[in-house]
Amino acid sequence: MKAKPKATRKRTSQKRAKAFTGVQALLLFPSEEDRKATLDLMRRFSAGVRYAYNRLLEGQTREALKRENGPLRIFFGLNTRYADDAVMKAQALLDSARERGEDPRKVVFGGRKLFETLRRRHLSGKPLKELKREWKEKRQGLLYSRGDKTKGGNLNLRLLVKDGALWLRINLGDGGYAHALIQTKHPNLSTLLQRVYASLPYNVELSLKDGKVYATFTWEEEPAPLVATKENGVLALDVNSDPYHLALALVSPDGNLKRHLTLSLEEVDRAPNKGAKELLLWKIAHQVVSLAEEHGVAVATERLKHLPKGRRGDGSGRAFRGKQHRFAYASLLRKVHSLARKRGVQVVEVNPQDTSAIGMLKYAPQLSLSKDVAAAYVIGRRALGFKEKLPKGYGKLLRDERFRGHVQGFYASKVQELQAKKAQERNPYLRRRLSREIGEAKRHLSLLSSLQGSPGSQEGSTNGRNPIGVNPWRVLRAGTFLPLLGREVPRDLSPLKVILHRGAWEGWKGGLGPPPGGGPECANVRSA
């Protein structure tokens, strides 16, 4: 429980990321000429981004593309600043595709989903017309200009205040300008006006939707000085979709659990529209950050780019897919991160690999926690640098030949049973589902047969010291949950306490009931 992190662990200062703030607005053009000129500029800029993207793929440099006599200036009539911004947008798309592991040559400007729908040619009339309009807007409706402090804000797309109204002056690149009135009630409008009066830089991006031109103004704000850090501990988060709630675990610097609670997200699910849902998520983010401030601790979460895309709850089928559809985990975490940085609360992101499995197997039965609070606790300990050791009882269990034979027999019988069902099933959808279940059972059988888990994160492995396998947590999950507890994701994990401490498992009869001393059926998630 109080395992110490490695002695060689070094305390390094977290790199402070800049927080972005923005304002969205509708542009109103008093002059139709100005509107047409702006749309033409957006069309040329969008084409310039596509051209720059293809040239970057060929190995051309940013400097060559944006130079005074370069192709973006000559072919698309963009001034030097617009040309540089077009290359920057293209480079960002290229980097994003590579980071996601996608082939950058297969990027579709305008969206692959729209492209595939149009290619099917199954629409006609008004639906086809609307789809083509949307496709055209996405491919031709972009204009971007970065802010520049030396130019007093933004040289190409500059905000001006005239007669108490806010206007956007659009440099058309040929010596002329178009003007549009800014229409918005965004809460950050006053902050944007302050930047305009102070001649501070702001980025501007124009986009086209439903025939209207929208502007997004963004700027960087230096994060506030840190007032709450992981030196005092962390407040770790984990979200589950069924029941829909946020689990919080307050972890002390020595790795012990000081407090835990849950915040229901059901109200978010019942929100009548996207705006109401966003407000509720921001409210919850404020609660989380305020709690971290109160205790002077950092916020610990799963790393955003490593968030699992699979199951995050109990169940499967149509009803469960409906629950997953509402899931707003990434959105909530982004809000928590943004707010924490503004308030000087340190944010620590960790690899989420095996946090749920370790939490369910180790801390849920040991501390009588829900599986989600237990997962949050593992995230918090990982953020503080602690490694999770395999309890002695689990090690004894995995070395027990009778246990291995029992579990292998369970999955072998399950494979035969599912194959027999599939042979008699005529419904193609149910056959596919049975095929997936057969594949999963075979994977578990293979895992138990070799007792070799897939390589896991360092925090969830035995680092080669245990002969059982590189990652015994996954072996344990496959060997205990379904064969002994009767569910792939059990609600009640208290029966594992006997195994965790003593390695005793014979009390089970093929997963039909808990062992002697096992806990009752319960929902151990409590409300805040």
Q: Is the separation of the CB atoms in 34 and 166 below 8 Å? A: no
Question: Residues spanned by CATH 3.30.420 within the chain?
Answer: 246-384
Comparing CA positions, the residue from 2, 25, 53 lying closest to residue 204 is: 25
Q: Over the stretch 277-327, which tens digit does the pLDDT of each residue have? A: 888 888 999 999 999 999 999 999 998 765 554 444 455 555 545 554 455
| pLDDT exceeds 50 at position 11 | no
The radius of gyration of the chain from alpha carbons, rounded to an integer in Å, stands at 28
Q: Is the separation of the CB atoms in 370 and 525 below 8 Å? A: yes
DSSP 333-396: HHHHHHHHHHTTB-EEEE--TTHHHHIIIIIHHHHT--HHHHHHHHHHHHHTT---PPPHHHHH
Q: What is the pLDDT of residue 318?
A: 53
- In degrees, to the nearest 5, what angle opens at C-alpha 128 toward C-alphas 125 and 129? 85
| pLDDT exceeds 50 at position 523 | no
| pLDDT exceeds 60 at position 238 | yes
Paired strand residues for 170: 157, 178
Q: Over the stretch 172-218, which tens digit does the pLDDT of each residue have? A: 988 899 999 999 998 889 889 988 998 999 999 999 999 999 999 99
- In degrees, to the nearest 5, what angle opens at C-alpha 488 toward C-alphas 486 and 493? 70
Q: Is the separation of the CB atoms in 252 and 258 below 8 Å? A: yes
Q: What is the pLDDT of residue 94?
A: 94
What CATH code would you report for 246-384? Answer: 3.30.420
Q: Is the separation of the CB atoms in 91 and 56 below 8 Å? A: yes
From residue 81, how far is each of 72, 150, 157, 173, 248 by CA, in Å? Answer: 11, 14, 11, 9, 47
How crowded is residue 75: how many other Cβ atoms within 10 Å of its Cβ?
12
Q: What is the pLDDT of residue 507?
A: 60
From residue 387, how far is each of 5, 6, 378 by CA, in Å? Answer: 6, 8, 9
